[in-house]
Amino acid sequence: METRVHVLDLQIGLYVTELDRPWLDTPFLLQGFLIEQHQQLEQLREYCEYVTVDFSRSNGGINRWAGLFDIKPKSDKAAFSAPPISALLQHNPQEQERRERISLLLELRRLFAGLFQRDTATPRRSFNTQVILYDREEQVEVELPKAQAVHKSSQTFMRSFMESVRKELHPKIEEANAVVNDLVDSIVRNPNALLLLTQLKDRDQYTYSHSIDTAVYLLAFGRHLGYPVEELRKLGLAGLMLDIGKIRLPEDLLNRTGRYTPGEFMLMKTHVQHSLDILGQMDNVPLDVVDMVARHHERYDGSGYPQGLKAEEIGMFGSMAGIVDCFTALTSERTYSDAKPAHEALQLLYKWSEKYFHPALVEQFAQCIGIFHVGTLVELSTGEVGIVIGQNRVRRLKPKLMVILAPDKTSYAKPHTLDLITNPTAPNGLPISLRRELSRGAYNIDPREYFLE
């Protein structure tokens, strides 16, 4: 049952289905969400006056909220009239959520399609209206061995590809496409397996692992945004190629530990053109891939390079590539910076949104990878310790875990999985929740021991 509610009357546990303004004008870009934090209440009160609440999807159902709100039963007349589509969807919340999600993704694509054109002499392209919601997922435990094989072959390919570029050989796109196809297949089956491997990689191989990480995150991002497989392949190829031009820059420039001088920064910026030159030596590279490589250093406020494009002018894919390239750089070990935890990198992206990155896409990227990134160590309210191995898109504070330590911090002989979306309870009957995120290496835990062969 849906009711229009003033924002001052909202409480944690209510499920919001509609706002009194467009979703893209607010931080709430998932159409339909459960209020789980006071911060959400504050943001709703900042942006809205009234919202629509679905009590049947709220915690505790209609009975819990009937005494606090004026929830009236349907009249006899309504019982004999044909129910509207919205009423039918109330009996199928999953279908309603699907429709809302598709509507949001199309609205986001229209936003970019309205301004994006390749140049002033070219008509605007129509945006892809096919939205795929990849609802069925392979178990992450089942997908992980397959993802490991794909990840390993991707590393082998990138080493070989970079060596070909160094030797001034013309690289062939066929091998790249084969690797990208395997990455896409794994991401479609379950993105969390490859995302987990990006967190478990060796930290001293930035050059080629950054390319693979970028491809993985772009693919996961594209999957989250509902792009079909043929579009995902473009995203994956662009991810591998974004920074390939850095191979043609001096090593001492790439290994700098301090700030660049103005002259050095100008030289560093030439890597974009070098990347485009390398792509130009390859046959049948999709134009969208060329666009992403050309535009991934453009910024929302126009301060980027090489063209100084702004906001939606950068294009959806170019904007996605910029966000992912920055995130993967922040979360990797570099000569001049230690790797940041995923949540810190996300906080920086939020801080830089509306200046450097499109706020709508930053929010969607955060929803894609979750508040607790796969591979993150967490402590539960029971005192147990687990590793995040999966996300829940709607309730981001309820991920799927592999529980490895008992409350006394001794290792379980056989780790077990726990999905917080099922609202599990402890032996004392209290619900199990996340207590805190743990630092990398806490309790001498190396997650690679549990996932890598």
- Each residue's pLDDT tens digit, 380-432: 999 999 999 988 766 777 889 999 999 999 999 889 999 998 889 998 889 99
Domains contained in the chain, CATH given: 2-113 (no CATH), 140-369 (1.10.3210.10), 377-451 (no CATH)
Most confident of 18-22, 171-175, 289-293: 289-293
Token pair, residue 349, equals 């992206």
pLDDT tens, position by position, 247-284: 999 888 887 777 888 998 999 999 999 999 999 999 99
- pLDDT band at 314; cut points 50, 70, 90: very high
Average pLDDT over residues 308-324: 95
For the record, the structure tokens of 132 come out as 């795929």
Residue 51 DSSP label: E
32-81 tens-digit pLDDT: 788 888 888 888 888 888 899 988 888 878 878 877 776 654 443 333 34
For the ranges 95-109, 191-205, 213-227, 410-424, the lowest mean pLDDT is seen at 191-205
Q: Region 11-31: what's the mean pLDDT?
A: 79
pLDDT for the residue 71:
61
Assess contact for 229 and 236: CB atoms under 8 A: no
pLDDT, greater one: 286 or 140: 286
State the DSSP code for 69: T
Considering only CA atoms, which of 296, 178, 298, 273 is closest in space to residue 233?
178
Each residue's pLDDT tens digit, 328-345: 999 887 666 777 888 889
For residues 175 and 161, the answer to whether their CB atoms sit within 8 Å is yes
Q: What is the per-residue pLDDT for 78?
A: 38
Element housing 367 (H / E)? helix 359-369
- Whether residue 125 is predicted with pLDDT greater than 70 in this model: the reply is no
pTM: 0.77
Question: Residue 453: pLDDT above 50?
Answer: yes
The answer on pLDDT for 29 being more than 60 is no
163: enclosing H helix or E strand: helix 140-166
In 190-333, alpha helices (H) = 191-200, 206-224, 229-241, 251-254, 262-269, 271-280, 287-295, 316-330
CA dihedral angle for residue 242, residue 247, residue 250, residue 251, rounded to 10 degrees: 100
- For 297-347, the DSSP string reads T--TTS--SSS---GGGG-HHHHHHHHHHHHHHHTS-BTTBPPPPHHHHHH
Please report which confidence band the pLDDT of residue 205 belongs to, taking 50, 70 and 90 as the band edges. low
pLDDT of residue 80: 36
How many helices and strands (H and E) does the chain possess?
18, 9
Question: Where residue 116 falls among pLDDT bands split at 50, 70, 90?
Answer: very low
Residue 320 contacts residue 235 (beta carbons within 8 Å): yes
Residue 115: pLDDT band with limits 50, 70, 90: low
Model pLDDT, residue 336: 64
